[in-house]
Structure 1
């Protein structure tokens, strides 16, 4: 379970995240949506410990990720699929991460197969398409078999088959009892993938609701536009 408690992040005069509190539960896909610059990535970076909060806290399974003895087994994240080691091969990248985490090397090859990259395992990261990098990032996030996945725009660069594959993967991970927090600008896709949605704007919580609770005939896009419009009115 992910929980943010009055989470705040300021960059000098700019407040990126402002007193944000929400919960992403185990066994669900929680959609994390908001306009560009709303604080989604900043929030995710604080959850995984890449940035330190100015105030408040972000926990995974009751404590900050850095407080867990084996963080790789607790959470995996893909926050920027472009920021991968360009000179390494796909297989080399995963094996390096596995060695660093004390994970058996064979898991790297199993995950390359699972994400559909077995045929590209010996290609350098610089030669991979954005969609392939997204898949490689997912494989890296799953190396430690974590109970929590945090994914920032994971369908960017994926073709329609890849988008469907990602949707099915996220649903399966949630069905296994894992907590999945995923951001996206694609409301129609999020409506098919998420169980719950957290909407933020200007770093603040605008609303949260279950997809199943949307009124008949109301799309997630409708609900999202209404919430964000009211927040700026």
Structure 2
């Protein structure tokens, strides 16, 4: 389970995350959505200890991640698939991460097969497409067989087959009793994937609800646009069009 309580992150006068309290339970896929710049990635980074909160708390299974002895076995994380070192091969990268977590090399090889990258295992990461890097990032998140997953825009760059594969994967992980927190800007896809949704804007909680509680005939996109109407920092078509 992921929990934040009054989580806040300020950069000088700007609040990237502002007094945010949310919960992502075990056994469910929680969609984490909001406009560009709403604080989703900042929140995820604080949950996994990459950024220090200005105030408030973030925990996984009741404790900050730094207090867990084997982080890879607690949480699998995909924040930016482009951050993997381009000079390494896909296999070397996963084996390096496995060694850091005290896991055997064979775990890396098993996951390359599972995510469909076995044919590209010897290619340098810089030569991989964005979609292939996303698959590699998901393999890295799966390495420690953790109980919690935090995935930031995991379907970005994937083809329709890859999008369906991610959807089926996260549904299976939740069915196994794991906690999955997943962000996306694709509301139609999120409606098919998530059990519940947390909506934020300008760093603050705007709403949270189960997908099944949407009114008949109301799409997740409709609900999202209604909640974020005053929170979108960059929205086209609201200034009367271009000047002539």
Aligning the two structures, in what range does the TM-score lie when normalised by the shorter sequence?
over 0.9
Superposed, 1:176-187 pairs within 5 Å as: 176-187=176-187
- Partner of 1:95 in structure 2? 95
Separation in structure 2 between the aligned mates of residue 80 and residue 230 of structure 1, nearest angstrom: 28
Aligned counterpart, 1:29: 29
Structure 1 residue 156 corresponds to structure 2 residue 156: yes
1:48 counterpart residue number: 48
Query: Tell me, what secondary structure is at the counterpart of 2:224?
Result: helix
Does structure 1 residue 141 correspond to structure 2 residue 132?
no
Asked if residue 113 in structure 1 is aligned to residue 113 in structure 2, the reply is yes
SS in 1 for 2:119: helix
2:20 aligned with 1:3, yes or no?
no
**SS of alignment partner, residue 83 of structure 2:** coil
Give the deviation of 1:105 after TM superposition.
Answer: 0.9
Deviation digits for residues 101-121 of structure 1 (CA, Å, limit 9, x no counterpart): 110111101100110001100
> Do 2:112 and 2:136's aligned partners in 1 also have CA atoms closer than 8 Å?
yes
Q: How far apart, in 2, do the equivalents of 1:230 and 1:76 lie?
A: 33
Q: How far does residue 81 in structure 1 lie from its aligned partner after superposition? A: 0.4
SS at match of 1:52: coil
What is the CA–CA distance in structure 2 between the aligned matches of 1:33 and 1:223, rounded to whole Å? 11
> In terms of Rg, which structure is larger?
2
Equivalent residue for 2:170?
170
Please report the RMSD computed on the Cα atoms of aligned residues, expressed in angstroms. 0.8
Deviation at 1:229, TM superposition (A): 1.3
Alpha-carbon shift at residue 230 of structure 1 (Å): 5.2
What per-residue deviation string (whole Å, max 9, x for no partner) do you get for residues 150-201 of structure 1?
A: 0100000000111001100010111111100000000000000000000000
- Is the 2:8–2:19 contact (alpha carbons within 8 Å) kept by the matching residues of 1? yes
Match of 2:126 in 1: 126
SS in 2 for 1:98: helix
**Aligned twin of 2:199:** 199
Write the distance in 2 (CA, Å) between the matches of 1:90 and 1:177.
29
Q: Which runs of 5+ in 2 are unaligned?
A: 233-244
Matches within 5 A, 1:67-78: 67-78=67-78
TM-score, normalized by length of structure 2?
0.94
Q: Distance in 1 between matches of 2:129 and 2:156?
A: 11
Moved over 6 A (4+): none
Aligned equivalents of 2:83, 2:192: Cα separation in 1: 28
Residue 231 (structure 1) shift? 5.3
Is the partner of 1:229 in helix, strand or coil? coil
* Count of aligned pairs: 232
> Can you list the C-alpha shifts for 1:57-115, whole angstroms capped at 9, x where unaligned?
00000000010010110001000000011000000000001111110111101100110
